[in-house]
Chain A
Amino acid sequence: DVKVTQSSRYLVKRTGEKVFLECVQDMDHENMFWYRQDPGLGLRLIYFSYDVKMKEKGDIPEGYSVSREKKERFSLILESASTNQTSMYLCASTTGTYEQYFGPGTRLTVT
């Protein structure tokens, strides 16, 4: 089974803090993604990566950055957290055969 893990299930941070969300997949997938999931808005793509050290902006990249130093790990960074970044963050990976495998999510609260 494909396993996508995320470093934290719940995270509480203060406004202005730098936040790191980590994602690891164990199936040697080339492509990895970060989405945020909000009630009434569905899932929106923040950033994705198709190779080590490569990154592409998704639909809502403002306020976020990413890092992919190793194939299995994809990090989402909030340089200066704001309250409007309170959300559920989902990581996913795929080989490009269309099915995306999702992690359990990190519920981030920014106070």
Chain B
Amino acid sequence: AQRVTQPEKLLSVFKGAPVELKCNYSYSGSPELFWYVQYSRQRLQLLLRHISRESIKGFTADLNKGETSFHLKKPFAQEEDSAMYYCALSGSGGGADGLTFGKGTHLIIQP
């Protein structure tokens, strides 16, 4: 069975400090990994996916197959980064059979 683990329910950092949100996964094949973000009173939206290797809003994430991790990083946190972040995995269905989400990390950026 596939599983996504986000060990931190809550992460609080000061503005300008580096941020790392941890994500580990369990999947027997080659997964597709994503980070979704939900800002206050907004709908859940895609932040980035590992296959595109993009940097979105200063965030990056590298898939480490050896450690089965997909941690989200940003060198300098901004107050507008405060949100709920979910790591998600898509298995062999290519997303057509749904995503497996972690339990989420609430990121708070303090001024």
Contacts and interface: CB of A to CB of B under 8 A. Distances in A.
A9 to B, nearest CB: 11
Interface size bracket, B side: 20 to 34
A42 B85 CA distance: 10
The interface residues of chain B, by DSSP majority, are classed as loop
B106 to A, nearest CB: 9
A105 B51 CA distance: 28
Contact of A99 (B49, B98, B103): B49
Nearest to A38: B103
Given A42-B86, A48-B97, A94-B96, A100 B103 contact: no
A25 to B, nearest CB: 13
B103 A94 contact: no
Given A41-B103, A44-B101, A45-B99, A90 B90 contact: no
Interface residues of A, number: 26
B32 to A, nearest CB: 6
Interface in A18-61: 30-31, 33, 35, 40-45, 48, 50, 56, 58-59
Interface of B: 6, 9, 32, 34, 43-46, 49, 51, 86, 88, 90, 94-104
A69 B102 CA distance: 31
Nearest to A56: B97
Nearest to B94: A96
Nearest to A94: B95
A48 to B, nearest CB: 5
A100 B97 CA distance: 11
A58 B1 CA distance: 13
Contact of A102 (B43, B51, B103): B43
